[in-house]
Amino acid sequence: MGTTKTEHFTDKQNATASMLKALGHPARIAIMEFLITANHCICGDIVNEIPLSQPTISQHLKELKNAGLIKGRVEGNAICYCVNEQSISDIIGYFGNITNKINQRAGNCC
Amino acid sequence: MGTTKTEHFTDKQNATASMLKALGHPARIAIMEFLITANHCICGDIVNEIPLSQPTISQHLKELKNAGLIKGRVEGNAICYCVNEQSISDIIGYFGNITNKINQRAGNCC
DNA sequence: AAACTATATCGTAATATTGCAATATTAAAA
DNA sequence: TTTTAATATTGCAATATTACGATATAGTTT
């Protein structure tokens, strides 16, 4: 117990859940928004921008990276982060599909 | 510790994270997809459709409902569930905005 | 090389999540 | 009214997440 039973679900369902889970924390939403708003890659400003400790930010960045939502590039002794635009397209694609299915069907009773 | 420091983030960021967090589990993705694919409201079939125990499904439904992603309507001794279409629009709107910002900016270095 | 800077990792405490058996609740049917 | 059916709640064990201090690592500067 305590563990998600991923084996009952499709790969696509697990992959989708895992992307959205990575975005399911306000600090990670804030990091994504910061990276996007900043008009360029961010090297070393993230810790100053978000009021959490450096290890905590580093951990959140790792999770975003594992989920494929951001990319990192080593730049001297700093690391430049930016959004993986493909991942955002994938998410939009997913919800676009959902919307199409909603629009195609008969209608709700609730 | 162990608790998310929501006070450091905007209401919008917390609200967005909380919706996406609700979708950040394969069982809840599967429930959403089932409700959408089913072309009508679902009264009582969810437990048979997803290989998790009845209490576990009930708990996931509660979380989806708390996050505003689904609606429930009492129908005799059963409960009919359906997707809250507005919530999907909200999510699409959020990622649409993100995409606009990405397209407006100079470009990545990564 | 020594000091400095940026980031990652380790270890750990506090809390949250997942899943289920048992039980409660509520409405319908017999 | 007893039984049946559908769903919710409670209680709990296993595991995951969140956050951070301390420390490690790696590149830069002096």
**Where are the domains positioned within chain A?**
11-102
Backbone phi, then psi, for A89, in 5-degree steps?
-60, -40
Q: What is the rounded distance in angstroms from the CA atom of residue A42 to the CA atom of residue A83?
A: 10
pLDDT in tens, A61-86: 999 999 999 999 999 999 999 999 99
Per the structure, the residue whose CA is closest to nucleotide D13 at C1' is A1
Which residues fall within 8 angstroms of residue A13, CB to CB, at 6 or more apart?
B26, B29, B30, B33
Q: Does domain A11-102 have CATH number 3.30.70.2860?
A: no
Compute chain A's Rg from CA coordinates: 17
Let me know if domain B14-96 sits in CATH 3.30.365.10.
Answer: no
User: What is the model's pLDDT at position B49?
Assistant: 94
Q: Which residues of chain A lie closer than 8 angstroms to B16, CB-CB?
A: 23, 26, 29
pLDDT digits (tens, 9 = 90+) for A18-34: 999 999 999 999 999 99
Residue B65, chain A, CB below 8 Å: the answer is no
Task: Specify the 3-state DSSP secondary structure of A24.
Answer: coil
